[in-house]
Structure 1
Amino acid sequence: MGRSKNERHPQSTSPVTLLWRKAEVAQELTGWGQYLGYSLNIPVVNDAVAGRSARSYTEEGRFQTLVDTVKSGDFVVIEFGHNDGGSLSTTDNGRTDCPGDGEQTCTSPTTGETVYTFVFYEVEAGKALQAKGANVIFSSQTPDNPWESGTFEYTPSRFVGYAQKAASTIGAAYVDHGQYVANRFQSLGLSTVDSFYPNDHTHTSPQGANIVSAAFVKGVLCANDVLAAHVKNTTSSVPGSCI
């Protein structure tokens, strides 16, 4: 696996995989989407933007831009969670979603605007993309370093369940990326995984991002998702077990 293509409008009749998620941007840190292209026989457009949540991606109009440009048959992978937490009780960072797994709403304490839930933002984006004929894949949040304490610990965040609910709500595909990464990191051990996090417990090195990308591919293959037909690897050639 290696760097994916960075085409915004590939001139190809093949579907284009569009990857939306929180990403690392510093040179020594790399988001996993940059490596996905080497596992697929179709172009990858990696438009990840650092520091975004499902809410801020919506409010900045980025989902709408995607809906406006996507074509029937394209694949869209949606993964958020790292930047969606926080509280709206006294402050608002512009990223925190309203608590809940449905159509609950909150009022921003700083702007007075209505804030919706993680599930609502993902469902609305997914429905709009499906209406354009896109194949939507919801992917669960990847874990922070599960070896940070010196002992392996992984408890899925609430956003993992929220992503699964968004997928089931609109009949979209779902990959439990977080669990596949956790399983792979557990097998690799403390010292190896620690080396994937040179600066903090969230942002991976290129080597770590490559492993995280492979875990997503494993999930796609194991689920026999429609995207699996475009994966160059065989299921057995990608490390890890199906869940």
Structure 2
Amino acid sequence: MKARNTFLSAVACAEAALTVHLCGDSTMAAMTGAVQGWGEYLHYSFDPALFAVHNAAVAGRSARSYTREGRFNAVLQVVQPGDWVVIEFGHNDGGSLGSTDNGRSDCYGAGGETCATTYNGVNETVQTYPTYLKRAGAAFLAAGADVVISSPTPNNVWESGSYSWGPDRFAYYSWLAAEELGGTSAGAYFVPHGAYAAQVMKSLGADVVNENYPNDHTHTSPYLADIMAGAFVYGLTCGTSELGRSAVNSTASLAAVFGDCITYNATVPL
């Protein structure tokens, strides 16, 4: 009987654990060599008995290409009610559509605009960035998950020799998508990850930050990827989500490193 009780307890624990699924690009993905994505460090902020982290981010992807390749659908197939899905793109979503279409650029705009293109010999109707996020987010919400739309991490804020950063259109689009999914009352949350990451990189200073962008101005060393993960978690704890309240890091302990909580709303410029 004791062995059976132990077995049943183990099963109960396994069934109780929820999953945080990560959908994004190389800044979040598992990488090799001198660079690493921040998603690889997120699990340190959660009790493994409560949350597992499934890093489904893939290098080189945009919201458009991640959709076209069926990667959102692949995550949807394994999502369980009560899970969380974090969506963060933006680094590969810019550019223009045309004869040199790279398969990643989204249609420009904040609404339901569409663009016709041909990619790899296939006609494609390209959506806007917010549309891709909202379609994926709505599917995850319908499956019983909660969704976090996160703004993209910054490029090196010290690259020019002095600190420089401001929210770009993808930061605004991310906020907009979360709002148009119904916001917190619908289980759709926004984290201004880029703003928190820029804030802590300003504090770290040029020498530390420059040293930890070893290859280019986008991809971080393991050390800075860990910082980026902390910035995301701090954004969660400054918000109202149950996921933020579940982080093992207290808001106060994170504030000592990452600074003040940030207010983000529709007044942020495009």
Smaller-chain TM-score bracket = over 0.9
Residue 104 (structure 1) aligned with residue 99 (structure 2): no
- Counterpart pick for 2:83 among 74, 98, 101: 74
Kindly provide the amino acid, as one letter, of the partner of residue 33 in structure 2. Answer: Q
Moved more, 222-231 or 75-84: 222-231
% same residue: 48
- Counterpart pick for 2:235 among 219, 225, 232: 219
Q: How is 1:63-142 mapped onto 2 (pairs within 5 angstroms)?
A: 63-110=72-119, 111-142=122-153
Aligned pair in 2 of structure 1 residues 91, 207: CA closer, same or farther (>3 Å)?
same
Q: How is 1:21-100 mapped onto 2 (pairs within 5 angstroms)?
A: 21-23=24-26, 25-41=31-47, 42-100=51-109
Total equivalences in the alignment: 234
Contact 2:26/2:59 (CA < 8 Å) preserved in 1?
yes
CA–CA separation in structure 1 for the residues paired with 2:62 and 2:44: 27
Report how far residue 196 of structure 1 moved: 1.2
What TM-score does the superposition give when structure 2 sets the normalisation length? 0.84
CA–CA separation in structure 2 for the residues paired with 1:61 and 1:109: 18
Report how far residue 77 of structure 1 moved: 0.5
Counterpart residue number, 2:10: none
CA–CA separation in structure 1 for the residues paired with 2:115 and 2:191: 29
Report how far residue 63 of structure 1 moved: 0.6
Counterpart residue number, 1:145: 156
Unaligned runs of 5+ in 2: 1-12, 263-270
CA–CA separation in structure 2 for the residues paired with 1:43 and 1:129: 17
CA–CA separation in structure 2 for the residues paired with 1:109 and 1:26: 33
CA–CA separation in structure 2 for the residues paired with 1:109 and 1:43: 39
Unaligned runs of 5+ in 1: 1-9
Q: Secondary structure at the match of 1:106?
A: strand
Q: Secondary structure at the match of 2:123?
A: coil
Report how far residue 90 of structure 1 moved: 2.9
Higher Cα Rg, which structure: 2
CA–CA separation in structure 2 for the residues paired with 1:13 and 1:69: 16
RMSD (CA atoms): 1.3
- Counterpart pick for 2:194 among 164, 178, 187: 178
